[in-house]
Amino acid sequence: MKFTLSWLKDHLDTDASLDEIVEKLTMIGLEVESVDDKAVLKPFVIAKVLSAEQHPDADRLRVLSVDTGTGDPVQVVCGAPNARAGLIGAFAAPGTYVPGIDVTLSIGKIRGVESHGMMCSERELELSDEHNGIIELPEDAPVGVSYATWAKLDDAVIEINLTPNRPDATSVHGIARDLAAAGLGTLKNDAVAPVKGEGACPIKVTIEAPDLCPGFAVRLVKGVKNGPSPKWMQQRLIAIGLRPINALVDITNYLTFDRGRPLHVYDAKKVVGDIVVRRAHDGETLVALDGRTYTLNSQMCTIADAEGADSIAGVMGGEHTGSDEDTTDVLIESALWEPLNVARTGRALGIITDARYRFERGVDPEFMVPGLDLATQMVLDLCGGTPGEAQVVGYAGHQPKVVTFPFAEVKRLTGIEVSADESRAILTRLGFTPKGDGEVIEVTVPSWRPDVDGKADIVEEVMRIHGVDNIAPQPLTSHDAVNGRILTQLQIRTRNARRALAVRGMMEAVTWSFIPAKHAELFGGGATALKLSNPIAADMSDMRPSLLPGLISAAQRNADRGFADVALFEVSGTYEGDTPDKQRRVAGGVRRGTAKLDGQGRHWAGNAASVNVYDVKADALAALEAAGAPVERLQIEAGGPAWYHPGRSGTIKLGPKVVLGTFGEFHPKTLEALDVSGPLCGFEVFIDAIPEAKAKPTRTKPKLELSPFQAVRRDFAFVVDKAVEVASLTRAAGSVDKKLITDVRVFDIFEGASVGADKKSVAIEVAIQPLERTLTDEDFETLARKIVDNVAKQTGGVLRG
């Protein structure tokens, strides 16, 4: 919403400065977005050309002697065709910034002749596109005076960023009312004098869609003379960014801003037959005032004559019945439209107009008829003519809302004391009608405030006018106890997994929740319910089923920038369905190139090798452990989802059913489909699948039993079939005496001719902790035999000779 300072002062009697007004607007909820105080125009002064001589060296230039009102005439070189002796125009002295050419003038020589300034065109001052010559002012224009001030071009333009709840502030009058309520002056022009017309309107109006049109008023004015609107009106319209068209149209635009009352003017002679307000026919077309053809449907409301739609109700008028310079009989329309329907129609047709802006917020129903009177009066004043009687159809009158308002509500919600008298005065100044004398009053809401419904709205009115700044902060009462429940278990687990992965040298990425459909499908997603119907880009269309495609793409982007060795992770949501329980909490990561735990790339102490499945297995287990999974009970199964290398991937399970994670090198086809290169490994662990930790009655740790007997280690090497999983071998060794054996460590894997084809040698170190006595050689013999026997039984392995 834009307006000028002088326009505001038409409605507000005030001594307040521009700065005070701007500050107050913002503080009462009409946030000022920008102020153009036109200071840039101030240096241009009215000057008179005393003489104009031909430039000695250029056919098209003249050398002027200009009286700028400061004493001696100055010499100016000028190329304008209308530059001549006696002309009065706008002069810019050296040092002046000229906005239209974006130049700060200096004394210059043009073809050898010094020029001490410039006579300007309208375009150079950014007043219009006019550039055929320099500005010509009337003979009585006072030389030496600021041109902008004299021509009233220094009217500051204020733009407010209007919240959608305030239709009343889509008008200069409404803004003035708010400022007056806030103590910045007195509201003017509140009453509108009715216009007396003669003769019933010959064009009859019928409303066939009363649900979309709660009221319609028209008046015919005959014998008008349309033409350009007066300069003052044009200046205001230009100042707020509108293009003056002709007096009739300009009046409707002017009142749209002046009173928040959109209007339409038909050339009555172009209207065929009577007018019907009805739903449009499906497929009905209309060429609107913007010259474009719109196809309407039965959801939309139109004003039609015998030949079809004339106007899109509340949004835009039609071209063929519009008013132009030749219009002599004008039909002025002031109507009410159902806001939601206007919003829907405007959205569907992609039309944004000042009328739609107001109708979809809700215009003042009680101003429908006064608005018509005001418009009629302006038409009579500016274009002459004879008014007919107003024809008002369908308007049932306004039922004002009444809110029961306890004064104490202000204190209850805001914490400040505002006296009943002040509350009452504020409401009255805003146009509310408070009734009653007690602690609780009845407040009638004015017709221009459809946003005010209940007590809280009334509190807001009192608070914003009284001043939010007057509310002193008050501490929130502190809890009586230490805050012991800040994060949920899932939140703590998420946070711990994140820190644990970063500690492993990985960098946390935040990638898009939506990914290309192809990527989603590749990782088990792509369901219709998780496809956006209006994605911002084609490759951001599907909710991700996995963190991996985003991370893989991110790793590749880094590689393309020359950073091939990256370790990235993310702890966030993935989506298996469109219900809350189908949003998973996942920690995932990728390692590319040589980005291993100990470092990446070449190093004098040993170059890093390519990342492999064991790197990401370690990441996955670390994340799970940090997130509180019972690591000692986890099982690793060979193989994982299809996007991994089938022989170099694994699944981490807790029991037969609960999958806590997957890890592996990627399938070459995955890399190909994502158009990325490796070496590349990744993992995902499902934090939300980790069982809830059991509530413990105590945090006491189990008693520490330290054996006084020396711990010993024994090495074994077994030859087993290559296919045997080493985990089954270590489990077989460790399980023969769970008390004595504290650890089984694999320290060598060897494959080669010496152990036989399809065989491998697995060397393990068994840690033994005697508990009751020092073990004898026989004890060790017995234990070793048990280990060898059980390994043989479980895996077919034989002790390597």
Stretch 357-376 residues interacting with another protein (CB under 8 A): 360-361
In the complex, least distance from residue 440 CB atom to another protein, rounded to whole angstroms: 13
Our CB check for another protein shows the closer of 382 and 443 to be 443
Closer to another protein by Cβ: residue 140 or 581: 581
Q: Binder to another protein among 272, 433, 512, 628 (CB under 8 A)?
A: 512
Q: Smallest distance, Å, CB 30 to another protein?
A: 9
Question: Considering only CA atoms, which of 743, 721, 748 is closest in space to residue 733?
Answer: 743
In angstroms, rounded to a whole number, what is the distance separating the alpha carbons of residues 245 and 319? 13
Rounded Cα gap, residues 527 and 545, in angstroms: 10
Selected from 351, 420, 502, 618, the binder of another protein by CB under 8 A is 502
Closest to another protein by CB, 204 or 412? 412
Joined tokens for residue 36: 């153009």
Q: For residue 681, what are the contacts with CB-CB under 8 A and spacing of at least 6? A: 590, 591, 611, 612, 613, 615, 616, 663, 664, 665, 666
Separation of CA 733 from chain center: 62
| Residue 498 in contact with another protein, rule: CB under 8 A | yes
Q: Which of 573, 628, 639, 770 binds another protein (CB under 8 A)?
A: 573
Q: Please name the helix (run of DSSP H) or strand (run of DSSP E) that holds residue 256, with its range, or none.
A: helix 247-259
Q: Which is nearer to another protein, 457 or 779 (CB)?
A: 457
Smaller CB distance to another protein: residue 533 or 776? 533
The binding site comprises 451, 457, 460-461
Structure tokens at 511: 């990638």
Among residues 3, 367, 448, 514, which is the contact residue for another protein, using CB under 8 A? 514
SS3 for 440-459, per residue? EEEEECCCCCCCCCCHHHHH
Distance CA 240, CA 7 (A): 11
Distance from C-alpha of 650 to C-alpha of 644, rounded to nearest angstrom: 9
Show contacts with another protein in window 465-494 (CB under 8 A): 468-469, 471-479, 483, 485-488, 491
With a CB cutoff of 8 Å and minimum separation 6, the contacts of 267 are 321, 322, 323, 324, 326, 327, 329, 330, 331
511 lies in the site for another protein, by CB under 8 A: yes
Indicate which single residue of 36, 354, 508, 743 sits in contact with another protein (rule: CB under 8 A): 508
Q: Which residue, 327, 217, 309, 205, is CA-closest to 264?
A: 217
What residues from 537 to 566 belong to the interface with another protein (CB under 8 A)?
Answer: 540, 543, 551, 554, 557-558, 561, 563, 566
Contacts of another protein in 99-138 (CB under 8 A): none
Tell which residue, 606, 515, 599, has the closest CA to residue 554.
515
Q: Looking at beta carbons only, is 377 or 414 nearer to another protein?
A: 414
Instruction: Give the contact letters, 441-460, x = binds to another protein (CB under 8 A), - = no.
Output: -------------xxxx-xx
| 631 counts as binding another protein under rule CB under 8 A | no
Under rule CB under 8 A, residue 689 binds another protein: no
Name the residue nearer to another protein (CB basis): 487 or 609.
487
Q: For another protein, what does the binding mask look like between residues 160 and 189, x meaning CB under 8 A?
A: ---xxxx-----------------------
Decide if residue 579 touches another protein (CB under 8 A): yes
Of 238, 351, 597, 792, which one interacts with another protein (CB under 8 A)?
597
636 close to 659: Cβ distance less than 8 angstroms:
no
Query: Site for another protein (CB under 8 A): how many residues?
Result: 95
Task: State the minimum distance, in angstroms, from the CB of residue 89 to another protein.
Answer: 39
Cα–Cα distances (Å) from 452 to 215, 365, 427, 437, 601, in that order, read 22, 15, 12, 22, 67
Nearer to another protein by C-beta: 1 or 390?
1
Please list the residues that pair with 62 across neighbouring strands.
Answer: 54, 78
Contact call for residues 392 and 369 (beta carbons, < 8 A): yes
Stretch touching another protein by CB under 8 A, among 377-385, 393-401, 436-444, 600-608: 600-608
Interface residue with another protein, options 583, 677, 735, 769 (CB under 8 A): 583
Nearest to 199 by CA among 219, 217, 215: 219
Site for another protein in 754-793 (CB under 8 A): none
787/768 Cα distance (integer angstroms): 12
Which of residues 130, 439, 578, 751 is near another protein by CB under 8 A?
578
| CA-to-CA dists, residue 634 to 201, 342, 628, angstroms | 88, 61, 12
CB of 90 within 8 A of CB of 133? no
Query: Least distance (Å) from another protein to the CB of residue 489?
Result: 12
Q: Which of 43, 308, 505, 526 binds another protein (CB under 8 A)?
A: 505
Closer to another protein at the Cβ: 690 or 766? 690
Distance (Å, whole) CA 211 – CA 355: 19
Site for another protein in 19-58 (CB under 8 A): 26-29, 31
Residues annotated within a binding site for Mg(2+): 451, 457, 460-461
- Within residues 377-416, the interface with another protein by CB under 8 A covers 412-416
247-286 residues near another protein, rule: CB under 8 A: none
Exposure of 42 in the CB half-sphere (CA atoms within 13 A): 6
SS3 334: strand
Edge-first strand order for the sheet with 433-435 is 402-406, 440-444, 433-435
Q: Which amino acid is at 686?
A: F
The residue from 443, 501, 681, 788 that contacts another protein (CB under 8 A) is: 501
Q: How far is the CB of 651 from another protein (least distance, A)?
A: 25
The residue assigned the tokens 């740790």 is: 701
